[in-house]
């Protein structure tokens, strides 16, 4: 499985160190406030697991699954909810936990959708962002790493549902796409 990677962009240690820094910042920013962590399935599973366990107090977590219509690896911004939140978020501080912000279209739809439900605030925490791919002006409060505009897998991110379980983030070797 490791040999399917062309290169490792982020090692396990780099990811974990950065998540710990982000968690510390989140705890500082939300001191004394209750926050609901909303993970976006499926990509955010690893970020949610590791980030939330680095936090020092209990946080409620919930999940959404959305599908962005589009071909293959490109998203269109037209989004469908596959699984909605289990609980009402009105009056609550919501922190969306994402794996990656690419064009930003899915996320901007999600922010608008959640904002319409009357939360106290909606912010975003993402492990990865591709600044060169962003098509919308989005403010993302917590960004782990800005990465080049290349398709990446691992640490929750998939290619055809594979590679989510890698501990690193990397790009795939050409032979994977051509086989």
Which residue(s) pair with 170 in the sheet?
A: 8, 153
Site map 79..108 versus Mg ion, x via CB under 5 A: --------------------x---------
Q: Which of 22, 36, 38, 43 binds Mg ion (CB under 5 A)?
A: 43
CB count within 10 Å of CB 98 equals 26
* Residues noted as catalytic: 102
Task: Collect all residues with Cβ–Cβ distance below 8 Å to 62 and sequence separation of at least 6.
Answer: 36, 37, 38, 39, 85, 86, 87
169 binds, among ligand XMP, Mg ion, none (CB under 5 to 8 A by kind): none
| Ranges within 85-124 binding ligand XMP (CB under 6 A) | 99-107
**Residues recorded for the chain:** 179
Question: The tokens of 138 are what?
Answer: 């989005």
Interface residue with ligand XMP among 5, 39, 43, 119 (CB under 6 A) is: 43
8 A C-beta contact, residue 25 and residue 18? no
Interface size with Mg ion, residues (CB under 5 A): 3
The residue ranges that bind ligand XMP (CB under 6 A) are 43, 68, 75, 99-107, 151-153, 157-158
The residue ranges that bind Mg ion (CB under 5 A) are 40, 43, 99
């Amino acid at each position: 499985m490791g040999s399917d990677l062309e290169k490792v962009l982020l090692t396990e240690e780099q990811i974990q160190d950065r998540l710990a820094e982000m968690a510390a910042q989140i705890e500082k920013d939300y001191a004394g406030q209750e926050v609901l962590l909303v993970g976006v399935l499926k990509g955010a599973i690893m970020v949610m697991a590791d980030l939330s366990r680095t936090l020092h107090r209990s946080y409620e977590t919930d999940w959404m699954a959305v599908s962005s219509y589009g071909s293959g690896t490109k998203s269109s911004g037209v989004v469908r909810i596959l699984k909605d939140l289990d609980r009402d978020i009105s009056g609550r501080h919501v922190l969306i936990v994402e794996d990656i912000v690419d064009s930003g279209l899915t996320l901007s739809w999600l922010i608008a959708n959640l904002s319409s439900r009357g939360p106290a605030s909606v912010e975003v925490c993402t492990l990865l962002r591709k600044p060169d791919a962003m098509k919308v002006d989005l403010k993302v409060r917590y960004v782990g790493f800005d990465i080049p505009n290349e398709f990446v897998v691992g640490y929750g991110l998939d290619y055809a549902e594979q590679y989510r379980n890698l501990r690193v983030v990397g790009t795939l070797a050409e032979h994977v796409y051509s086989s």
